[in-house]
Chain A
């Protein structure tokens, strides 16, 4: 700063009459002072608990608030636990099958809704969004009653079906967006070049829709894996999922093992969110 100042004043000043006053940049009309800082605070607020959790999952000590050095012992203990492994397997099976159902249902519906504009299509779109408008607890106990009434009991299958219901709107949104971006003339071009409707779907619509479908699948997987309420109400003793297992652990008291299991679950979600991110960018 000082050096360049000296250099500049070395030459003859061109306009010595005009005082060199630093011009303060105008705040653009659509900006508000402090919003950026506020954004920073909120991000810290959102991440602080999760980061704390992950950091403490590597704590060697038994106490939550006491740092005793880095270790993987809680992860080892967690993964060695048979019931945790069972819960993890259940979680993944339920998520995979629920997603399979949700994505198929959502894709068929998206094609019908985006390409048609009738009253029935609009009504169906509302129906798909309905799971978002009802508290999960209400939906879960309603489903429980229905299953009890028709004597279905609790099994992995009933859990898969219940998960598929609330996964569908999440699978639907990115698929719908992707489909709306595929110009109708793309499909018309295919028909024009001698495709039957089925060939048109298989050779043109589906490949163009693929990133949207993958994005929808990722969201659906995350929703299912992270679901607690529905699983808690509907899962029986044999088919506990990870969140339900964590809940029972918390009720028994806070231990570092919960940190490890929670961090694992968080890592899994993060992985899927990353998958969603990349596939939705491609579409």
Chain B
């Protein structure tokens, strides 16, 4: 794989009458050719800003953007081989679906025959051929979404930018469109840079994810990396649910595994990338679904059930442990077997290496 887009220390400050606002600090990222790359982060973290800088709608206050080694920072949007799928699609209401899809090709002065054939090809790709002569207002949200995608893909751009393209759709459609988007990306081989604040979306579709917060990249890696090896406290909490437990390192082995004491009864074996020293404080992250509930007679740390929330396929149990609270996700069966209700005593275990020591304590 080769690097296609290089974002070098890009910073953006909005200068306003009521004070300046730093949206991006100094973001550096490489995106590889043909990759499904996701920018994931909470609302207001600067995802859209970064995307708009890539598209050329916004100028970075510092840093630069290279596409295939060429600095495009000074190029207007129409001079960049990058197309955008807008959040609310921005389909031209005064044009038919076919005219919308053909728009970019015509502006590139492609021969009429090419425009027609490419438009047809794109409409087929997104299965919209039958509705080609309709207007955007006569389409459902999902259909508009496909047209927006076809319109962006038609001029054969190097990169497609998608800003929360699924957020306007209902849950069922959103899930179906995930597969659809992934399929289109695979079939066309175009690089997708996808923005979302929905972690499920990011984890299920991406080749790599950059987690953004407070104008900085918090972690860059594959979905697997980010889920099971969160680089810091923010990522651990933002991706999935995590119990963050304060403890003391009581032993370190050569493989980088650390033994941590959370309280008298609870000692966890956690994985870690950083070098640790025996005796130092550490923050251990353990996912609720990785913690096992046991009968009071079994061996494990003791806790008391405070709350049980039914969630359909599973239940979330809140345990009072010492002074803190630990959330455990468990099946209905276990719940019934142990006869758990608020107030009942229970024991639990964090299996070896299910927990991870995160930086940033």
Q: Which residues of A contact B (CB under 8 A)?
A: 183, 185-186, 188-196, 199, 204, 207-208
Contact = CB atoms under 8 A, between A and B. Distances in A.
Contacts of A183: 88, 90
Q: Closest 5 CB pairs between A and B?
A: A193-B104, A194-B107, A189-B90, A185-B90, A191-B77
Contacts of B310: none
Given A191-B77, A193-B83, A186 B107 contact: no
Contacts, number: 57
A195 B78 contact: yes
B86 A188 contact: yes
Interface in B78-99: 78, 82-84, 86-88, 90-94
B94 A207 contact: yes
7 contacts: A186-B90, A189-B91, A190-B103, A191-B77, A192-B152, A193-B107, A194-B107
Nearest to B84: A192
Nearest to B151: A193
Nearest to A119: B17
Interface in B39-93: 55-57, 76-78, 82-84, 86-88, 90-93
A282 to B, nearest CB: 11
Contact of A192 (B77, B91, B93, B94): B77
A204 B84 CA distance: 17
Given A183-B88, A194-B155, A208-B94, A188 B57 contact: yes
Given A189-B84, A199-B107, 5 more contacts: A183-B88, A189-B86, A189-B91, A192-B152, A193-B83
Contact of A194 (B86, B90, B108): B108
**Candidate in B55, B78, B93, B94 with the most chain A CB atoms within 10 angstroms:** B78
B57 A193 contact: no
Contacts of A192: 55-57, 77-78, 82-84, 104, 152
A185 B88 contact: yes
A191 B88 contact: no
B83 A204 contact: no
A122 to B, nearest CB: 11
Nearest to B94: A207
A186 B151 CA distance: 13
A43 to B, nearest CB: 35
Contacts of B88: 183, 185
Interface in B126-168: 151-152, 155
A189 to B, nearest CB: 4
A180 to B, nearest CB: 16
A208 B107 contact: no
B104 A194 contact: yes
Nearest to A188: B57
B131 to A, nearest CB: 19
Contacts of B55: 188, 192
Contact of B78 (A185, A191, A207, A208): A191
Interface in B88-121: 88, 90-94, 103-104, 107-108
Contact of A188 (B90, B91, B151): B90
**Candidate in B84, B91, B155 with the most chain A CB atoms within 10 angstroms:** B84
B103 A185 contact: no
B138 to A, nearest CB: 16
Contacts of B76: 191
**Candidate in A189, A192, A204, A207 with the most chain B CB atoms within 10 angstroms:** A192
A193 B90 contact: no
Contacts of B152: 192
Contacts of A186: 90, 92
Nearest to A207: B94
B94 A188 contact: no
Contacts of A185: 86-88, 90
B330 to A, nearest CB: 45
A193 B155 contact: yes
A190 B77 CA distance: 9
Contacts of A196: 78
B5 to A, nearest CB: 16
Contacts of A195: 78, 107
Contacts of A208: 92-94
A116 B305 CA distance: 58
Nearest to B108: A194
A230 to B, nearest CB: 37
A191 B57 contact: yes
